[in-house]
Homo-oligomer: A and B are copies of this chain.
Amino acid sequence: MGYGVTMGRWAPDAAIRLERAALELFSEQGFADTTVPQIAARAGLTTRTYFRHFADKRDVLFLREREFPAVVSAVLADAPGGLTPVDLVMHGFDAVARDGFDDWREAVRARRRIIRSDMHLRERELLKSSALAGAIEGVLVEHGLEARDAALLSSFGVLVFDAALDSWLEGANDRPLHDVLRETRDRLGRLTG
């Protein structure tokens, strides 16, 4: 998804092949002991081509999240009116949680296991969450919220979402992410009084 209908001249799945090769190699030998030339070779491409699709060695693990800020922004843009700011943000996460996660729990879990195995990958994950918060913050400002409130609230929303994602992945049952999201938000509300 995301690719046009005509699909160019060359195999249009270079980034996908690189991502699959990287996931395999990182699982087999670990992130630190895998080199970019190894990833490119397994995908049938060259090192230079790898760096055309991904900014660095870590970036390949976040291919699926590239559209995430734009998607959340779009969902928030045409949300039902009359919501309080915090409900608007949570509504955006609700919509995303319903669509694109419950069918991919094992894939998300495998990716999360790799990320948690290396500090540098965890670092990049934090930056991606921050970028998501930035996108939400922009929408909130457009909706008239004051800048500082928008920054606070978007960070709060991402905090709840990330924590809910962790609970959802760690749990044995396959409770829908939507439910975990609500429970996490309530739990934090009780904690902070």
Contacts and interface: CB of A to CB of B under 8 A. Distances in A.
A86 B130 CA distance: 23
A103 interface: no
Interface stretch (A22-30, A107-115, A148-156): A148-156
Interface in A128-147: 130
Nearest to A166: B151
Nearest to A55: B119
A188 B123 contact: no
A112 to B, nearest CB: 15
B127 A192 contact: no
Nearest to A185: B192
B153 A191 contact: yes
A131 to B, nearest CB: 9
A77 interface: no
A116 to B, nearest CB: 12
B127 A191 contact: no
Nearest to A159: B155
A184 B156 CA distance: 13
Given A153-B191, A191-B153, A126 B130 contact: yes
Contacts of A123: 123-124, 126-127
A152 B188 contact: yes
A191 B153 CA distance: 7
A159 B184 CA distance: 16
Interface of A: 84-86, 119, 122-124, 126-127, 130, 148-149, 151-153, 155-156, 159, 163, 166-167, 184, 187-189, 191-193
Given A119-B127, A151-B166, 10 more contacts: A123-B123, A126-B127, A148-B163, A149-B187, A149-B191, A151-B163, A152-B188, A156-B156, A156-B191, A156-B192
